[in-house]
Structure 1
């Protein structure tokens, strides 16, 4: 296995920890080989293979976060989950609707609505296509499974980098319930609960809901409201109908709302334009205090989300096989208002909306019983409509901002020559509006075959065919008068050639430099259809060998696929190679610029070698992997919008492991980590600090090469029936640069401690105290260049220390 390990494995402390674990595993395997099954760890049942199988016997690289772990560590939403799973990174950014998921360093989809994430998220078998539909206080959980590597053969659409598989508890036919109240700092108030019971002998229900409010921890220095508050609620109802012992219907309906001011943006580098803002009376935050949790905005940002849906799962058991159908419809609406220059001067304000309707249908037939040969066949259908758009407004300070930058003498002269009213350029309330519609229809057909080659050796072959079609339209309205200047041939303004005014000719480049948002070429047009059609057959092959009932090894080769993603942002531009054809068709606009309309498909492949072990007092799993994504869809925010491009190839070699040790009847220790050696094998035309760059051979930014999660739990009980726990968890990520278009000194390194303790009484009453980020660790989530402030850079700081206490009653 050593040939799969990156070079750091021999030189870093985390590698030593892995080696010690392997040594323990080897010695224990000899000593415990004949251990009785009753004395081993409790079996964890997962559905990673779309069958109910034991975690240790399933030849897939998967990490499980149990409901117990999530409750003990006070994981409230997906963003907190990475404190338990080192292979997962969750990055919330500009708005409550924008969250990026990555596994093994692979992930995309942040902020740009046109990019579906490479990490597929499924909740009770239903695919959630956008991050906005994935955020919310976690419902009544059973467990969360994080599957590493491409999973396209079973999970279908867009699982080219991994899957987050969330399972909640079905209704019970026995009366059960729980209510929990939490109070925390920043006036945190959480109330949630559930109740479940039988209605008849064959019909049960459950109802759960919650509300979560908190004041913002970022204070305005100009007298506005707090930023990064919490104001969300959710409601979820289920029915479980079992008319016979072989037939089950599970119906789920859920709805949630978010209404918050998000998100905190810190000044990290204040560039030369800072003086212009300050000269006009604007406030710019001190870049020396990026973790001061202050804001200097001219409006209170708003983020409002409404998310809901229904699903019906039907399971029918026949003599030798089972039938499963999962039907779901979902809707997600969001809108926002943001001050995007991040100063108190009214320069730029952005307003946006998104409305997404999704329908999914999955069918599966699965063999049952104890067979040497097992099979599964199925199909998945996906239909989605995206209606999204945004408007960028110039403010009352925009013209004055440019005047102070040195354009004050030029603009009036040009306006006077053309008979324009004074202050026509960059006047308040002029705007650039972009509206997008995307229709996406996709289907996949898959088959999975399992064959026992011997009593100890089994093979799994998976094959899936996916077809993905998209149709996109854009409408645009640009009222900025300066946008009518044509710099592509003979400069004109309002149709009058500038050559008629020779004194202005030397100033043409200067005028062009401030024309930062030229008109958009709408499509479809006679050259650009706005359509994409992709299809691909993916496969997976796994061999699993049971050394003994304590030790299993497996080897995997698999491929994955993700269809074309369209650039549904203000910076969608025709490809440079289309310039001549656009000119011939008479489609060129004033000051025509070029970029990307879409990024082509992603194609991934992975090779894995893993071992899973389970003994009386320990369980240790380790996977070495070599994973590649060709055409990785890279989306970079450049200040005004997103540049979407295909990286030629991104790859990573590494090792991931997780382990649990029962040191005694009272003490449990968990250690999990990942070593990565990522690289852009080829990436020409990436967005760099000063324009397009060639990153071929460079390490991708934002991907830590070493991550570690460790926890220790002390469990105790009293003679009167009370029991409790004390737990501490540690999260580590090695230092790494954030994105390619910010200075390299802006980095991220994580070293966070979380802690909690709880006590449960015999009558069902429980008490819990918790603190997240106990050591007040400070790091950036990401960074970006703000619009029209060359030389300045902003970043998103992580949350400060949060703590609280909960009381609950369960029956």
Structure 2
């Protein structure tokens, strides 16, 4: 958290300015916030959490992390807060960019559906998304739970404030969240007329426009409407289609009606719709690595056999040659009704919501320009219904939150995957008879009946059609109390009773290129070859379970500006079902034992200190944590093209522990700086049957699984920092009083593993990014500034992927190059 500061101007000795200038080069916008110069705590609670003054740029930091308004420094939770102005100024217009402001947040996305948000290295399994399990990080927008992380790829729409809560939050939030929660608050309708507009343009043909208007319709009815549109040319050039890919093309709208007949009752009806129609998603060649396959079956030999070369072996040339259709059509929307009613000494809140998500993807799953996999698409449609009811009571010595939550979700998916004329040569072994085939030679050799690889028609047109659905029901009672034993010491117990039920269906039908069904039974070589690529399967998994969670927090308010706290939480992440297929047994029947995964059992420990000093011009918060997870839900796969897309299994035990610190300083209105950091030690404690790394896979004697106990969890850096500063000077422009300002935002993360099992080939090197902005703003809300992001044009990788088939191919998604542009904002 950044420091509270007063609006009273002060002068400071030269030594203070020396310290400030030093911090300028050591900092970046963190998930921190500044608040006033010793406001009354009870006055802060009266402030609206979406007030324009809140956030990193001034005013009290009022948060609703515990389902009531209170100052961030009084909340015994590790929490990062990002204000709406900071989101705009740093270009952090979706969750993916938010991770540059919050060091403990990890975001991975190969396309909108295959998106994961983790906190402290845990939350969702790394790899292909499986609908049959829950997210460990809950995303809430105005109290509404968003069950699919795909919504995180959309632009933030009229956001007032974002709170990133670390650690389990199941006794405070409707859906159980074992790793943390992202609580997004939008600007609400007002009974005073107000509006804002913003336009940005930049290189890569970047264009973004945002607008919002709010005001009264009657004495008791107010409305607000907000719009957002973003477009940008892609950053990767596809030489096959002569198009730029990885583009941005988002549009969104949100409308709200607020009925407030009296001071005790408010009813808000909101609706939103967003559509994403980008040319996406592509990868580029990064490297190859030796596997256990014979040399003639590894990438270099396979590519040479078909005369194939990639357009560039340098990933930062940003060239690809993918030949299958690419699409990432994404539409999401919903309606919510929120009722707040002051009843006696507390407030009753009801949140009723319906949301939908339609996903229309097309991918190239062979990651090459060869017609190996010519079609890969898994469109899906989701509907979800949620009802949350809670009662908040606040007293002199005793507070509590008591709630109930119901959730129902239905997902239907229709998948099609098809192989092309290059698949036989690439996928099938030309034969093991050394008299017919030299294992060091890639050509087909003499004609022989067992050399199916030399016959394109064996796999050309081979098609798998998947049909699946999921019905997911969850209900919970939860509550958290706060008992102020003395003026300094408070204990806060919480409980949660949870029921989950999941019912699914998975069917895969396989057809040869001529339309003939491919089934088990025939033993001819062609059928067996086809079954080795796509195996038909059908099963209907089910899971249901009750679990009980609890936590206890003790806080000690040593002084007005020093809070110490400790938390223990025993919680669960619901079990699930495998929705992408499971292995077959020796009789070619689905292994039903693998159709379900056990719940995760979580023990969480955390201690922290929150302090303000130097007349509340400086803030320093420090947190130490440890989370132990038994039956960790991990993603595994067998490396083949289509037999399994990946399925879930339970790892024995995982542990993540570390230390997080937030420091901010504001010696005057002319300067502020902050630095946030996190050290995270996240490992598999016990995982003896994990999928093997590429370098251990592919050979006839390769182990079916490997022991990765003691190795690093994927996706999490040991060290991560965000830091920044801003300096301003009062001046005039066009006869308008205001400030010229200059800001710097930076972030750093150390190397991390981009594969569920750590591999020498999939470590992403650490990198640092620097962003600058400079402009002029007025008190009336006019703001004109220029910006440059990734100013030093650092080359970095967002994610690495292992190509299918254990050929040793490694592809990746290069991060954005240097971008620059300008923004103009106005409020009225």
Could you tell me the TM-score, scaled by structure 1's length? 0.86
1:110-132 Cα offsets, whole Å, 9 max, x none, are 53241332111111111111112
Partner Cα separation in structure 2 for residue 411 and residue 337 of structure 1: 37
Residues 291 and 255 from structure 1, CA distance in 2 versus in 1: closer, same or farther, beyond 3 angstroms? same
Residues 331 and 480 from structure 1, CA distance in 2 versus in 1: closer, same or farther, beyond 3 angstroms? same
Match of 1:336 in 2: 361
Partner Cα separation in structure 2 for residue 787 and residue 622 of structure 1: 43
Partner Cα separation in structure 2 for residue 665 and residue 191 of structure 1: 30
- Conserved? CA contact 1:209–1:236, under 8 Å: yes
Match of 1:696 in 2: 709
Q: Is it true that 1:735 corresponds to 2:756 in the alignment?
A: no
Match of 2:680 in 1: 676
Residues 740 and 334 from structure 1, CA distance in 2 versus in 1: closer, same or farther, beyond 3 angstroms? closer
Match of 1:648 in 2: 652
Structure 2: state its 5+ residue gaps.
1-18, 24-36, 45-57, 290-297, 431-441, 698-703
- Conserved? CA contact 2:761–2:810, under 8 Å: no
Match of 2:662 in 1: 658
Match of 1:56 in 2: 73
Match of 2:596 in 1: 598
**1:718-733 matched pairs, under 5 angstroms:** 718=731, 720-733=736-749
Q: Is it true that 1:617 corresponds to 2:627 in the alignment?
A: no
Q: Which moved more, 1:741-750 or 1:220-229?
A: 741-750
Q: Which moved more, 1:272-281 or 1:797-806?
A: 272-281
Q: Tell me the secondary structure at the aligned position of residue 168 of structure 2.
A: coil
Match of 2:348 in 1: 323
1:673-711 Cα offsets, whole Å, 9 max, x none, are 111222211112111212521111222233211111111
Match of 1:132 in 2: 150
Partner Cα separation in structure 1 for residue 739 and residue 411 of structure 2: 50
Q: 1:270 deviation in Å?
A: 3.6
Match of 1:705 in 2: 718
Q: Which moved more, 1:398-407 or 1:115-124?
A: 398-407
Q: 1:279 deviation in Å?
A: 4.5
- Conserved? CA contact 2:425–2:455, under 8 Å: no
Match of 1:360 in 2: 386
1:386-445 Cα offsets, whole Å, 9 max, x none, are 1113211011332354589669579973699xxxx9854112x32012111110110010
- Conserved? CA contact 1:240–1:251, under 8 Å: yes
Match of 1:103 in 2: 119
- Conserved? CA contact 1:249–1:314, under 8 Å: yes
Q: Tell me the secondary structure at the aligned position of residue 291 of structure 1.
A: helix
Residues 411 and 559 from structure 1, CA distance in 2 versus in 1: closer, same or farther, beyond 3 angstroms? farther
**1:215-614 matched pairs, under 5 angstroms:** 215-270=233-288, 272-287=298-313, 289-348=314-373, 349-368=375-394, 370-401=395-426, 413=449, 424-427=457-460, 429-480=461-512, 515-524=531-540, 530-569=541-580, 571-574=581-584, 588-589=588-589, 596-614=594-612
Residues 207 and 155 from structure 1, CA distance in 2 versus in 1: closer, same or farther, beyond 3 angstroms? same
Residues 737 and 496 from structure 1, CA distance in 2 versus in 1: closer, same or farther, beyond 3 angstroms? closer
Structure 1: state its 5+ residue gaps.
1-16, 22-34, 487-492, 499-507, 525-529
- Conserved? CA contact 2:138–2:147, under 8 Å: yes
- Conserved? CA contact 1:379–1:443, under 8 Å: yes
Q: 1:497 deviation in Å?
A: 5.6
- Conserved? CA contact 1:572–1:595, under 8 Å: no
Q: Tell me the secondary structure at the aligned position of residue 805 of structure 2.
A: coil
> How many matched pairs?
738
Partner Cα separation in structure 1 for residue 145 and residue 447 of structure 2: 52
Could you tell me the TM-score, scaled by structure 2's length? 0.84
Residues 88 and 414 from structure 1, CA distance in 2 versus in 1: closer, same or farther, beyond 3 angstroms? same
Residues 423 and 83 from structure 1, CA distance in 2 versus in 1: closer, same or farther, beyond 3 angstroms? closer
Q: 1:789 deviation in Å?
A: 5.8
1:218-259 Cα offsets, whole Å, 9 max, x none, are 112234321111111001100111011100011110001011
Q: 1:280 deviation in Å?
A: 3.2
Match of 1:73 in 2: 90
Match of 1:768 in 2: 785
Partner Cα separation in structure 2 for residue 595 and residue 776 of structure 1: 49
Q: Is it true that 1:804 corresponds to 2:821 in the alignment?
A: yes
Q: Tell me the secondary structure at the aligned position of residue 418 of structure 2.
A: strand
Match of 1:83 in 2: 100
Q: Is it true that 1:157 corresponds to 2:175 in the alignment?
A: yes
- Conserved? CA contact 1:703–1:736, under 8 Å: yes
- Conserved? CA contact 1:737–1:745, under 8 Å: no
